[in-house]
């Protein structure tokens, strides 16, 4: 059974870069059938898609965050990562990694999610 697990520092200072990694277990990240994405949720607010990556390295990002976001993939480790630069308190959120289908019945839906990790931005 495929599982996703986020990991990263528990606290980031303003103006620094937030870095998170999602480890995929129970299946390979190197499949043509899925994209791998990051979604965030500020406390008490809704879901916001950050960006997604294909195993080949092809990416697409939320235009509102694009200038500060980099998503990369390491197929040898079955992981993909998120970097969000120049963070402020407004970037404080729970960050989720999730899988979305490309040529599956659940195309463009996020069918498997990690448990999420809270990242406060504070000095």
Partner 1 sequence: SYELTQPLSVSVALGQTARITCGGNNIGSKSVHWYQQKPGQAPVLVIYRDSNRPSGIPERFAGSNSGNTATLTISRAQAGDEADYYCQVWDNTFFVFGPGTKVTVL
Positions that interact with partner 1 (CB under 8 A) = 37, 39, 46-49, 52, 60-63, 96, 100, 105-111, 113-116
Cβ closest to partner 1, residue 34 vs residue 96: 96
Q: Tell me whether residue 14 or residue 69 sits nearer to partner 1 (CB atom).
A: 69
Q: Pick the closest to residue 4 from 56, 78, 72 (CA basis).
A: 78
What's the CA angle centered on 66, arms 62 and 72, to 5 degrees? Answer: 95
Query: Which residue is it, tokens 């694009």?
Result: 66
Nearest distance from residue 49's CB to partner 1, in Å?
A: 4
> In terms of CB distance, is 23 or 100 closer to partner 1?
100
CB of 62 to partner 1, least distance (A): 6
For partner 1, the closer CB: 32 or 123: 32
* Least distance CB 64 / partner 1 (angstroms): 8
Query: Hey, which bits of 42-113 come out as E strands?
Result: 48-53, 59-61, 69-74, 79-84, 93-101, 110-113
CB of 37 to partner 1, least distance (A): 7
Q: Quote the CA–CA distance of 72 and 81 in Å, as a whole number.
A: 5
User: What kind and span of H or E run contains 20?
Assistant: strand 18-25
């Amino acid at each position: 059974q495929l599982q996703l697990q986020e990991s990263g520092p528990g606290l980031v200072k303003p103006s620094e870069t937030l870095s998170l990694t999602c480890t995929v277990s129970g299946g390979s990240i190197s499949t043509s059938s899925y994209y791998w994405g990051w979604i965030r949720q500020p406390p008490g607010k809704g879901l916001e898609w950050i960006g997604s990556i294909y195993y080949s390295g092809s990416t697409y990002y939320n235009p509102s965050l694009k200038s500060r976001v980099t998503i990369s993939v390491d197929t040898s480790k079955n992981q993909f990562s998120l970097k969000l630069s120049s963070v402020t308190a407004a970037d404080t959120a729970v960050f989720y990694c999730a899988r979305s289908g490309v040529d599956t019945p659940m195309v463009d839906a996020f069918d498997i999610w990690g448990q999420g990790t809270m990242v406060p931005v504070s000095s």
